[in-house]
Amino acid sequence: MSIRFAFFDAKPYDIAAFEPHIGQDIRFKFFETKLNADTAELAHGFDGVCIFVNDTADAEVIDHLCEAGVKLIALRCAGFNNVDLKHAAGKLTVVRVPAYSPHAVAEHAMAMLLCVLRKVHRAYIRTRDFNFSLNGLTGFELHGRTMGVVGTGRIGREFIRICKGFGMKILAYDKFPAKDADFDYVPLNELLAGSDIISLHCPLTDDTYHIIDADAIARMKKGVVLINTSRGALVDADALLEGIKARQVGAACLDVYEEESDIFFEDYSGHIVQDDTLARLIYMPNVIVTSHQAFLTDEALSAIAATTISNIREFFADGKCQNEISYKKQG
């Protein structure tokens, strides 16, 4: 008998990545809609749900899923801040993909940085209008600059490796420093004050929520460049906007945004975006916003699909999974 899964927030690239890995033992029903309190009823009769970063699995949704007979929430991502693990404890199991391709995210972070520093985005627009003037396109080199990296998991360490290839100095901060690190750890305040560029590579927790706020920005070097490819709520978006307006922040590269859940992954090109902060950030000449695409490579999508399906098979075969996350483990 096949395991039946409701796959929420399904995009064409998700379906293309998962279909080659699906066997006779698992059947997916792909839904374009996101999981939330209004759509949880769609999971009725399924053994589990497969969700992504902007799906909602709060207490209300979890209760709906339990009533519908769902036994497993399979996250096809590393982050799990959208799941109420405390409420899920003892009711259903939650598993995730702890790592898929650190290269994908780290390379995207560097691509955004090079683009904003050398003003490639502005040059691209100009030359399409046959404007070949170099006025206003002066950038600065990475060699010899100090990169501050907040979070030194697999992605953070891969990003550090890339930065070293550019001849950069590294300052790192992590609540749980790696014992085998070949770079220097410093307190967060020292990193903020001493870095020319700061890149965030940490999960969103109670401790890291708004880790970059108005106070943190005030402690940074004037003209600092900020990169965020992790979770939007690591950065207070309003404080960032004010920092840019005050010239305290020289540039920002954002692949994630604090209030992205109702905007990112969708086409709003024919609509008026109601989020004034996001609209103002996008129109800043020294800000690059991409739509949570750092993970989006063929290699990463394939790895996500393979691990997610492996998690499902392991749980339904053994009743447990090595990639399970629980309130007890995180509390």
Average pLDDT over residues 11-25: 91
| Amino acid letter, residue 197 | I
Tokens read off for 62: 């979890």
Beta strands in the chain (DSSP E): 3-7, 26-30, 48-51, 72-75, 93-95, 146-150, 169-173, 184-185, 197-200, 224-228, 249-254, 287-289, 324-325
Q: Is the pLDDT at 157 greater than 70, yes or no?
A: yes
Tell me, yes or no, if 64 is annotated catalytic: no
pLDDT more than 90, % of the chain? 87
Are residues 272 and 308 located together in one domain of the fold? no
CA–CA gap between residue 242 and residue 169 (Å, rounded): 28
Tell me, yes or no, if 314 is annotated catalytic: no
Reported as a pLDDT band with limits 50, 70 and 90, residue 266 is confident
Are residues 125 and 206 located together in one domain of the fold? yes
- Marked catalytic residue, from 87, 108, 158, 260: 260
Average pLDDT over residues 293-298: 95
Contact between residue 65 and residue 84 where contact means Cβ atoms under 8 Å apart: no
Q: Taking the mean position of all CA atoms in its chain, how far away is CA 297?
A: 14
Partners of residue 182 on adjacent β-strands: none
- The predicted structure's pLDDT at residue 38: 96
Give φ, ψ of 298 to 5 degrees. -60, -40
Average pLDDT over residues 322-330: 77
Task: Assign residue 319 the CATH number of its domain.
Answer: 3.40.50.720
Tokens read off for 229: 């490819």
Q: Is the pLDDT at 328 greater than 80, yes or no?
A: no
CA–CA gap between residue 1 and residue 25 (Å, rounded): 7
Domain count, the chain: 2
CA–CA gap between residue 265 and residue 288 (Å, rounded): 16
Are residues 94 and 121 located together in one domain of the fold? no
Write down the mean pLDDT value for the chain: 94
Q: Taking the mean position of all CA atoms in its chain, how far away is CA 111?
A: 16
Low-confidence winner among 175-179, 196-200, 272-276, 310-314 (lowest mean pLDDT): 272-276
Question: 3-state SS of 190-253?
Answer: HHHHHCCEEEECCCCCCCCCCCECHHHHHHCCCCEEEEECCCHHHECHHHHHHHHHCCCEEEEE
Are residues 148 and 263 located together in one domain of the fold? yes
- Marked catalytic residue, from 64, 108, 157, 292: 292
Are residues 172 and 278 located together in one domain of the fold? yes
Tell me, yes or no, if 231 is annotated catalytic: yes
Phi-psi region of 97 (alpha: psi -120 to 50; beta: other; left: phi over 0): beta
Give φ, ψ of 59 to 5 degrees. -60, -45
- Marked catalytic residue, from 64, 96, 231, 258: 231
Are residues 177 and 248 located together in one domain of the fold? yes
Q: Is the pLDDT at 331 greater than 60, yes or no?
A: no
Closest-CA residue to 169 (of 192, 194, 151): 194
Contacts for 310 with CB less than 8 Å, ≥ 6 apart: none
Condensed to tens digits (0 to 9), the pLDDT of residues 92-146 reads: 999 999 988 899 999 999 999 999 999 999 999 999 999 999 999 999 999 999 9
In angstroms and rounded to an integer, the radius of gyration of the C-alpha atoms of the chain is 21
Condensed to tens digits (0 to 9), the pLDDT of residues 21-41 reads: 888 899 999 999 999 999 999
Are residues 122 and 90 located together in one domain of the fold? no
Higher-scoring residue by pLDDT: 244, 275: 244
Are residues 69 and 171 located together in one domain of the fold? no
pTM (whole model) above 0.85: yes
Condensed to tens digits (0 to 9), the pLDDT of residues 224-262 reads: 999 999 999 999 999 999 999 999 999 999 999 998 877
Task: Tell me the residue range of the domain where 137 lies.
Answer: 102-289
Are residues 139 and 74 located together in one domain of the fold? no
Are residues 106 and 91 located together in one domain of the fold? no
- The predicted structure's pLDDT at residue 330: 47
Tokens read off for 52: 């992504």
pLDDT more than 70, % of the chain? 98
Are residues 135 and 267 located together in one domain of the fold? yes
